[in-house]
Structure formats: C-alpha cells, structure tokens
C-alpha cells in the first residue's frame, strides 16, 4: 500500500511538473514570437525611414512620385524570423506604403466652409473647432470659448493655439470619437479585425471591409511645409538671402534678383504672387507698402488665421511695368523648388500635396471651385512624374495665373511628415505586433514625432 501511494503521489507530482513546464514553454514561445514580430515590424519601419532619408538627401528633381514608388517597394519585406507589411487607407481601401500627412487638409488652416463638408459636421461644431485653435477668447456666432467649457463643468478650455493631433479634436465640444475616428478606433489608418466585425466588439462598424476613418481620413494636425529644395539643400529664405545668393541659387539675372529681394522684403509678399504679377510691379508695390509701414493682410484661407493666406494682385494700384523680364516657366519652377518665404525657424502648418491628395479631399479643399479641382487632378494624372512645382499647374488650360495666385497658399508639391503603420508577423507562430510611428523628414536624420506599439 505504501508503494502504491508513493507511486500515485509521484505520478501526480510528475503530471503537475509536466503541465507547468508545458505552460512555461508555451509562454516562452509566445514571448519569443512577440519579439520576432516586433523586430520584423521595426525592420519595416527602419527600411521606410531609410527611403525617406535618401530622398531628402538626394531628391528626384524631375520626378515628384519616385519617393512614393520607392516607399511602396519596401512596404512588404522579411527578415530571418518574420515579415512586415506597411499599409494606409485611402477612401477606405488599403494601399501599400505609409500615409502622407500632406495628402490631407491641415486642421489648423482649414476654413469653416471646408469643415462643413465633413460628414457629421454641424455649424456649431465647426465654429467651436475654429474657436479652439484661434488666439482670441471671443466665441464665433455658434462657437465656444473658455466660459462655455467652464459652464459645463469641464476642467479645460480651448487651447487657443494649433491642434497638436487629430485626436485632440475630441476635446472640442460636440466633436465625438465616432465623428473624429469613425471606425478607426486606434487611429492607425488600417482596418483591424475589431473594426470590421459589425457589433461583435468595439468600435461600431458596418463590417463592409472598408475603413471609414471619419474626419481623420480628411484632416491632419501633423503636416508642415518641407524646407528642403529639389537640389537637396535647404530652401533659400528670401527675406534673409542676399541678391547674390538669389542669382546663384535661382539662376536669374542680377536685375531680376534685385527686384525679387525688394518684393520679398514687403510685408505682404506671397510666393503665389509671382505667377500673376510683373516683377517691376511687385517690387514697386512692396516699396510703397514699406513706405506706408506695411499694408494689412488679405483674407485668410485658413479660417481666421492671419499671415498664412494667399493674396493676389487684384484691387491694388498697378505701377508702370518694368522693362526687366519677369520669370519664365523654367525660372518659376526653380523658384518654387528652391526658394521660400516661410521662416524656417517657425514651421507653419503644411499645405496639401497635389501629387498625393485624394479626389474626395480635393473636393473639400475647392468646395467653391470644383472646375479648378478637376483640372488640377486631370493634369496630375496625365504626368507620370507628377507636378514638380506649382507653376506647372499653368500647363492646364483651365488654370489661369489668377486662379493659381488664389490657391497657391494652400497647395504644395512635396511632403515632410508621414505616418508609418508597420505590422510585423512572427514566422514561427504567426503572432502579429504593430508599430505606428509619425516621422518628419525635414531634417537628417529623420525625426520620430510619435511612436506607438500595439
């Protein structure tokens, strides 16, 4: 009997030890698989960053789309222990590569009229969004400022400065997560299983296999203008540049450079003015403005943000035309590619990249001018290398210099900020780990603005 009981006890102990060892082995395999998946995702992230850095240092001056083709080429890859895939959503469909933040409208410059085009947007919420970002504490007609938030028992009020992320829109009264995020609960730009299962789990979705990203599919808070020229050097800041620097960098005559320098020193100088104004006229007007102490700015394209609007030449008294030749098409292209009036020490919210913007976003951007929107999209689609400079838009018979002067302040041909969502998969177990990083290629090495692992 003693022997039998000893054998039974030993068997129980052996089974327990075996079960514990099996569980530990399973946990160990899962931990190892997670490490494999994580570093596969990280490899995809690093590969994408390497492409962005290469194109920042050695841009393709004659092909604005090459960077996106190269990003697609590294969207899928493998390492010894796993694979990665990088995707983003465009109108609900997954596309290879990272998300170009400049393909969306920056929420810090979008106008109230443009906001009203977003699905589920009401007039009071549009006003409240503008009030949240503007610098004053005076509410719009249907908006909300500090007192409005305080009366509702909230411990915060409007930032009265730029939004820092799309998620911050949810702090605005009346802007709910279902509006801001849609089905994209984690704001990763990809359709996850729980976002395509109808009512089985949060968030609520329609299970149609397409990602409805809500407002986040149309607006961003991350984009800003790229200060790197097509030559790979930092753009020439015209307000600080000497006439000699302008001649050398832009390959124009000293007489043209002198006029440009005078014009750039004006309080209301805008890059888009060059396509519709004579250099002599622009220089004379700038001298007159400086003599009067500067003129007030024009109407803002950004819904109340001064100093970031486009301003044409209409309504201003024209000086006699200068005999010095204005910039030709090649000079204009180089001017847009290599020069800027944006202070490089004060990055401004980004413009929309005409080479990556979606038709649905373009229709919001040009809500009052659909003909120009269609013309720009048609021209872009006809060029395998994309639009190299905004002056190239004049190649369309439907885009006049005056039209370009009006929209030049809200468009661009380059992108600086990308959101990379890299999903790594372990080769041994199939376990997946996802890394989402927002990166800025304005400087070398590329800066990581946000990093999340799921």
Cα separation, 90 vs 360, in Å, equals 10
Worst-scoring range by mean pLDDT, 17-26, 115-124, 232-241? Answer: 17-26
For residue 440, give Cα distances in angstroms to 225, 227, 244, 315, 418: 11, 11, 31, 39, 7
Per-residue pLDDT at 324 exceeds 80: no
Q: How many CB atoms lie within 10 A of CB 96?
A: 15
Assess contact for 149 and 132: CB atoms under 8 A.
no
Rounded to whole angstroms, the maximal C-alpha distance in the chain is 120
pLDDT at position 325 is 66
Cα separation, 74 vs 16, in Å, equals 48
Whole-number mean pLDDT of the chain?
A: 88
**Which residue would you say has higher pLDDT here, 306 or 25?**
25
pLDDT digits 0-9 by tens, 21-67: 877 776 677 889 999 999 999 999 999 999 999 999 999 989 999 99
Worst-scoring range by mean pLDDT, 16-25, 214-223, 321-330, 426-435? Answer: 321-330
Q: How many alpha carbons lie under 13 Å from residue 286 in its C-beta half-sphere?
A: 23
The SS3 assignment for 437 reads strand
Helices within 198-352 (DSSP H only): 243-250, 254-264, 279-291, 329-338
Q: State pTM to two decimals.
A: 0.86
The contacts of residue 242 (CB under 8 Å, 6+ apart) are 261
Which tokens hold the place of 105?
A: 């409208």
Highest mean pLDDT among 86-90, 256-260, 399-403: 86-90
Worst-scoring range by mean pLDDT, 13-22, 47-56, 88-97, 370-379? Answer: 13-22
Assess contact for 407 and 310: CB atoms under 8 A.
yes
pLDDT at position 289 is 67
Mean pLDDT of 236-256: 92
pLDDT band at 322 (very low <50, low <70, confident <90, very high): very low
**How does DSSP classify residue 205?**
-
What single string gives the DSSP state of each residue in 323-389? Answer: SSPPP-HHHHHHHHHHEE-S-TTSPPBPPEETTT--HHHHHHHTTT-HHHHHHHHHHHHT-TT--SS
Domains of the chain, CATH where assigned: 1-102+349-454 (no CATH), 103-220 (1.10.40), 235-343 (no CATH)
pLDDT band at 405 (very low <50, low <70, confident <90, very high): confident
Which tokens hold the place of 406?
A: 């009006």
Assess contact for 321 and 283: CB atoms under 8 A.
no
């Amino acid at each position: 009997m003693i022997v039998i009981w000893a054998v039974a006890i030993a068997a129980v102990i052996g089974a327990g030890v075996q079960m514990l060892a099996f569980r530990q082995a399973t946990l160990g395999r899962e931990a190892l698989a997670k490490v494999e998946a994580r570093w596969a995702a990280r490899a995809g992230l690093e590969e994408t960053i390497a492409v962005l850095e290469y194109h920042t240092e050695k841009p393709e001056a004659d092909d604005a789309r090459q960077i996106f083709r190269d990003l697609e080429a590294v969207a899928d890859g493998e390492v010894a222990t796993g694979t990665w895939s990088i995707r983003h959503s465009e109108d609900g469909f997954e596309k290879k590569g990272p998300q170009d933040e400049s393909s969306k409208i920056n929420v810090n410059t979008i106008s109230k009229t443009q906001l009203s085009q977003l699905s589920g947007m009401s007039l009071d919420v549009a006003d409240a969004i503008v009030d949240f970002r503007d610098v004053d504490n005076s509410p719009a007609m249907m908006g909300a400022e500090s007192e409005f938030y305080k009366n509702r028992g909230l411990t915060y009020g409007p930032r009265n400065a730029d939004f820092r992320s799309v998620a911050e829109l949810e702090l605005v009264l009346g802007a709910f997560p279902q509006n801001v995020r849609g089905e994209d609960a984690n704001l990763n730009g990809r359709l996850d299983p729980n976002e395509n299962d109808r009512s089985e789990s949060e968030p609520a979705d329609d299970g149609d296999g397409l990602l409805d990203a809500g407002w986040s599919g149309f607006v961003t808070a991350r984009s800003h203008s790229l200060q790197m020229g097509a030559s790979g050097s930092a753009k020439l800041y015209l307000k600080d540049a000497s006439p000699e620097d302008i001649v050398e960098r832009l390959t124009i005559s000293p007489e043209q450079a002198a006029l440009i320098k005078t014009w750039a020193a004006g309080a209301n100088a805008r890059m888009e003015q060059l396509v519709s104004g004579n250099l002599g006229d622009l220089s004379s007007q700038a001298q007159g403005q400086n003599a009067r102490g500067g003129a007030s700015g024009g109407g803002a394209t950004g819904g109340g943000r001064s100093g970031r609007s486009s301003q044409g030449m209409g309504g201003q008294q024209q000086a006699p035309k200068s005999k010095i030749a204005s910039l030709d098409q090649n000079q204009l292209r180089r001017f847009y590619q290599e020069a800027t009036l944006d202070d490089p020490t004060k990055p401004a919210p980004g413009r929309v990249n005409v080479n990556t913007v979606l038709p649905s976003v373009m229709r919001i951007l040009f809500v009052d001018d659909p003909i120009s929107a269609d013309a720009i999209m048609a021209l872009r689609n006809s060029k395998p290398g994309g639009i190299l400079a905004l002056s190239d838009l004049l190649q369309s018979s439907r885009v006049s210099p005056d039209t370009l002067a009006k929209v030049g302040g809200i468009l661009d041909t380059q992108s600086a900020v990308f959101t990379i969502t890299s999903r790594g998969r372990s080769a041994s177990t199939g376990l997946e780990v996802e890394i989402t990083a927002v990166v800025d290629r304005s400087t070398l090495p590329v800066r990581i603005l946000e990093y999340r692992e799921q």
